[in-house]
Amino acid sequence: MIDLADRPDVAPELRLVPHAFREAYGRSAEGVWYAPGVVSLMPGLAVCGRWGAIVAAGRRDDGVVELASINKPAEPVVLPARDIPAWARPVVQVAERLRPAGVTLLCSVDLPAGAGLSSQTALACAAALALRDLCEPDMPLDHLVDVLVRSQPRSRVEAAFAGYQVGLDIGDTRLLVVDTRLRRDTPVRLTGFPGRGHESIEQLGRALTDFHRAQDAEDEQDIAVRAALDGGALGATMLVDDPGRPVAALVAPDRVAKVRAHVSDAFRRKERTAPRYLTIRPSAGARRITG
């Protein structure tokens, strides 16, 4: 079997991690696993994006569990460890419950925590799949999900494995995620909001905006939502992706640039840090890529 790192038909980001694994450990990874980022719009509604987490892994015969990150190369972890760096905590929480035999995991996350796509949940899901497949291949997926939801939100874990969209259909519409660059240490408790059907994309947009208005949003989130709506978004809402405070807007394809320009201009006028953007189309769920 050709190493994924050497396959030109595979996306560069999927080749990078197994290539780095081979360079670091002198052998090919036994497999590569991927989990998407999840945009949790409101209770019961989520969209998976192609940005997420990738793990290359291989078993070892010395019983050691070693974790490393392309994003944090100076912070490797050998379990058990007393001091766990922030990047590794989602993986360690899974490993402590699955108790794998010797294994090495090299991880990569596309986006920083708080950018709006639940990157920590994506990393936990990709690592859990790798550990399951290498060390307990007979474990049912629903049991693996039960393990993951002890440390990650159930709705996000289930959406990551389901892929694409959960509870909605955005059709050809784009989901514009605005990373306000705001980070907070205090978790947010969402205000209860009555669920309702969404028979059209316009109704969905209005529901997102109504949901936002029911919450105790940060100033930056309110600025982004108002500007997105002024720019022609069908709807917009705050997101909670601790420690981040992003926003998501439902936007027709031909209005994405205009909405981005309105939001950027509003932040500039309010003298706030310029936001970052991701345009999301629904993508596949967590899976083993090869191996």
CATH number reported for the structural domain that contains residue 255 in this entry: 3.30.70.890
- 209-230 mean pLDDT: 97
- In this predicted structure, what is the pLDDT of residue 199? 78
Same domain as 23, residue 158: yes
Same domain as 154, residue 11: yes
- In this predicted structure, what is the pLDDT of residue 8? 66
Same domain as 89, residue 43: yes
Secondary structure letter of residue 104 according to DSSP: E
CATH number reported for the structural domain that contains residue 21 in this entry: 3.30.230.10
User: pLDDT grade, residue 187 (50/70/90)?
Assistant: confident
- 167-192 mean pLDDT: 92
User: pLDDT grade, residue 10 (50/70/90)?
Assistant: low
> Over 80: is that where the pLDDT of 196 sits?
no
Q: Is 207 exposed, middle or buried (0-12, 13-18, 19+ CB in 10 A)?
A: buried
Same domain as 91, residue 53: yes
User: pLDDT grade, residue 189 (50/70/90)?
Assistant: confident
Can you say whether the dihedral through the CA atoms of 72, 59, 97, 15 is positive or negative? positive
- In this predicted structure, what is the pLDDT of residue 28? 93
Same domain as 20, residue 120: yes
Same domain as 176, residue 153: no
Instruction: Give CA–CA dist 248/237, Å, rounded.
Output: 6
Mean pLDDT computed over every residue of the chain: 93
Secondary structure letter of residue 183 according to DSSP: B
Same domain as 210, residue 129: no
- In this predicted structure, what is the pLDDT of residue 39? 98
**Per-residue tokens: 269:** 């006028």
Same domain as 223, residue 156: no
Same domain as 220, residue 143: no
Question: What is the number of domains present in the chain?
Answer: 2
C-alpha closest to that of 239 among 166, 202, 188: 188
Number of H helices, E strands in the chain: 8, 11
Q: Which domain holds residue 236?
A: 168-280
Same domain as 60, residue 153: yes
Instruction: Give CA–CA dist 178/286, Å, rounded.
Output: 24
Same domain as 242, residue 105: no
- 83-100 mean pLDDT: 95
Same domain as 138, residue 59: yes
